[in-house]
Structure 1
Amino acid sequence: MNVSRREVLVGGATVAVACVAGPAFAEDYPSRPIELVVPWGPGGGADQLARKIAQLGEPEIGKPMPVVNIPGGTGATGMAKLLSNPADGQTAAIYIADAHALLAGKSPRWTMEDIAPVAVLIQAPSFIFVAQDSPHKTWDDFAKAAKEQPGALKVATLGFGSVDDFTLSFLASKGVKVNQVPFSKPSERYVSILGGHADALYEQAGDVGSFLAGKQMRPLLVFGSERFAAFPDVPCSKEAGFDIALPQFRAIVVRGGTPPERVKKLSDALEKVAATDGYKAFLKEQFAKEDSFIGSAGAGAFVAKQLDDMKAAIKQAS
């Protein structure tokens, strides 16, 4: 095979350019806007987080983060959208405890290996809320009614197979049996107790903050081992005799297999976002822990631990 001197020179130059340009292109992340998938409808806590991150994150990330709501299947539909995209970090998703709970059930649609946790952004306890004028003035009132008439009281939840479901199943195993009423749309779930469609609501305080401020609803019980500072008169589940606390967490994940350097770069940018006054104010509005943030170095272990706790709760309930 005859190869001219010119072809050798051109070919060599091409290889040289590729060797020099290759790493530079690899480091050029993000190369375009990062699509942020919210596996829930507009208006809920996950959506609020996504829009806050999109607002505060662009200066740190260097690219916009358009928010795309894809509700359905307790988060499964939105997660399918994430997992159908390349593992390049250009698509991320808000990942919350309720979607994560699906991995504790039978035949989950994804596994821990399919996702790469970038950062945990919110950690907050869950509550049982009632309307302000509810006849159940205390948790003891509510628990007594549930024991006397099993299944008569209706509790609005996100859906079956969620953290809400696991917690209520645990309570049922201890004699506090209620009728779970799922609402896929956050707005409908929140107002269900105001319109008489449910007797109580399982939710996080930040998601119903406006209703609490307006004296439209009040908490009866906080799930955890201690009382919550914002509601000092509200008992915690442990003191009420129920040793269960599945906190709600909200994180950002990308598809498993995304290059670690990209995961870290995105995590580092989100850490800067979490340190801003605007995000700290947002955490306070959400009744979340001030030290909620966990970067990519620890987010995977945190999420794995939450799954272990969920499986333990299911085992206790059964």
Structure 2
Amino acid sequence: MKLIGKAETAIRTLAVVGAMAMGGAALAQGYPDRPIELVVTFGPGGGADTMGRQMAKLLEEPLGVSVPVSNVAGASGNAGLTHLRTNAADGYTIGTLISLTVASWASGLGDNKPEDFRVIAVVQSSPSFLFVPANSPHQTGEDLLAYAKANPGELTVATSGYGTQDDVTLKLLGATGAEMENVPFQAPAERYASPIGGHTDAIYEEPGDVAQFIQAGQLKPLMVFDSERHPEFPDVPTSAELGVDISGLDNFRSIAVPAGTPDDVVAKLEEAVSGALATEDWQAFCKQTYSCIEPVTGEEAQQMIRGFRETIASQLDS
């Protein structure tokens, strides 16, 4: 008997939904069976790039496929995330999602948002510091802030861009009278070199990204933006100790996929990332970059992204 009208439409819809579900299950069962692209959302040489390449190398064994890295830089990481978001949600494109990009969303940069992505795991986190070149006339945090207050806008600070937590921190410092000029650099290597070469007076950065310059005695940390002193830099005061209480703006980095990626695929990726984080290679890497944390996964990771965006938005509104 031939079905017509609503009954026929309903049967066809159920058939399509069933086929899609079976297709998703088949995808997850055979996943992965070809290379997985890892999109690094910043240029070569920076912290996100270093993390992404280390993670890609360590993921190849548990996943059983190659994980080539593509750098898609621009717009504080939003160009790369748009590339990630607009690819098929099938687990064959993964990428870096880091806090300064989330901060840029609160500043109105780009059209990405937390619900566009599923976080596999937050794998690194570190508070940021203000560093000066070793030969700076400002050898303490007190000196730097006093000079900034007496000479508003004269001191220049290298940052990763406008709308990031770098920018927000400088705005918060400026609100206390310690006004400094934000000098953004798209290329990480240029940013790191700028204070050493005398192009800027200071740099806002987490210690892992400039570890080689700290160890070489070229950069000196003056203050850490955290609620307590960093265990690796016990002599460096917090901003609160210097009269400017700025914390909760840590730089974290995660691995993410587009929203809509099947649960089974996400589970396989999460298992592979967790395995990578447990390796001796990763443990040595995160210690070297002062960024070791307990990985954050699942809904807790999603909430971390949403909460950070809200934190930045509230700071911008205050």
Q: Give the whole-Å Cα distance in 2 for the aligned partners of 1:310 and 1:42.
A: 26
Which residue number in structure 2 is paired with residue 305 of structure 1? 307
Which residue number in structure 2 is paired with residue 88 of structure 1? 90
Which residue number in structure 2 is paired with residue 66 of structure 1? 68
| Deviation of 1:269 (Å) | 1.0
| The 10-residue stretch of structure 1 (27-36 or 121-130) with the greater mean CA deviation from structure 2 | 27-36
Which residue number in structure 2 is paired with residue 256 of structure 1? 259
Which residue number in structure 1 is paired with residue 16 of structure 2? none
Which residue number in structure 1 is paired with residue 46 of structure 2? 44
Q: 1:265 aligns with which of 258, 263, 268?
A: 268
Q: Is the 8 A contact 2:109 2:163 kept in 1?
A: no
Letter in structure 2 aligned against 1:59: E
Aligned partner of residue 227 in structure 2, secondary structure = coil
Number of residues of Structure 1 aligned to a counterpart in Structure 2: 298
Which residue number in structure 2 is paired with residue 171 of structure 1? 173
Map residues 11-30 of structure 1 onto 2, 5 A cutoff.
Answer: 23-30=25-32
Which residue number in structure 2 is paired with residue 136 of structure 1? 138
TM-score between the two structures when normalised by the length of structure 2: 0.90
Which residue number in structure 1 is paired with residue 154 of structure 2? 152
TM-score between the two structures when normalised by the length of structure 1: 0.90
Q: Is the 8 A contact 1:263 1:296 kept in 2?
A: no
Map residues 69-218 of structure 1 onto 2, 5 A cutoff.
Answer: 69-106=71-108, 108-218=110-220
Letter in structure 1 aligned against 2:85: L
Structure 2, unaligned stretches of length 5 or more? Answer: 2-18
Q: Is the 8 A contact 2:78 2:110 kept in 1?
A: no
| Deviation of 1:297 (Å) | 4.2
Structure 1, unaligned stretches of length 5 or more? Answer: 2-17
| Deviation of 1:312 (Å) | 2.1
Q: Give the whole-Å Cα distance in 2 for the aligned partners of 1:103 and 1:206.
A: 24
Letter in structure 2 aligned against 1:81: H
1:207-244 CA-to-partner distances (Å, cap 9, x unmatched) read 01110111111100111000001111110122222222
Q: Is the 8 A contact 1:167 1:313 kept in 2?
A: no
Letter in structure 1 aligned against 2:283: K
Q: Is the 8 A contact 2:126 2:252 kept in 1?
A: yes
Q: Is the 8 A contact 2:28 2:262 kept in 1?
A: no
1:85-137 CA-to-partner distances (Å, cap 9, x unmatched) read 01111101111111111221236411211111111010111010000111101
Q: Give the whole-Å Cα distance in 2 for the aligned partners of 1:269 and 1:260.
A: 14
Q: Is the 8 A contact 1:244 1:313 kept in 2?
A: no
1:275-311 CA-to-partner distances (Å, cap 9, x unmatched) read 11111111111111x3341123421111112112212
Q: Give the whole-Å Cα distance in 1 for the aligned partners of 2:258 and 2:273.
A: 17
Aligned partner of residue 196 in structure 2, secondary structure = coil
Which residue number in structure 2 is paired with residue 31 of structure 1? 33
| 1:191–1:315 distance in 2 versus 1, CA, 3 Å | same
1:64-94 CA-to-partner distances (Å, cap 9, x unmatched) read 1100001111111111111120111110111
| The 10-residue stretch of structure 1 (304-313 or 46-55) with the greater mean CA deviation from structure 2 | 304-313
1:163-216 CA-to-partner distances (Å, cap 9, x unmatched) read 100111111111110011011000000010011100000001000111011111
Q: Give the whole-Å Cα distance in 2 for the aligned partners of 1:31 and 1:255.
A: 19
Q: Give the whole-Å Cα distance in 2 for the aligned partners of 1:199 and 1:32.
A: 48
Q: Could you list the runs of 4 or more consecutive aligned residues of structure 1 that deviate by over 4 angstroms after TM superposition?
A: none
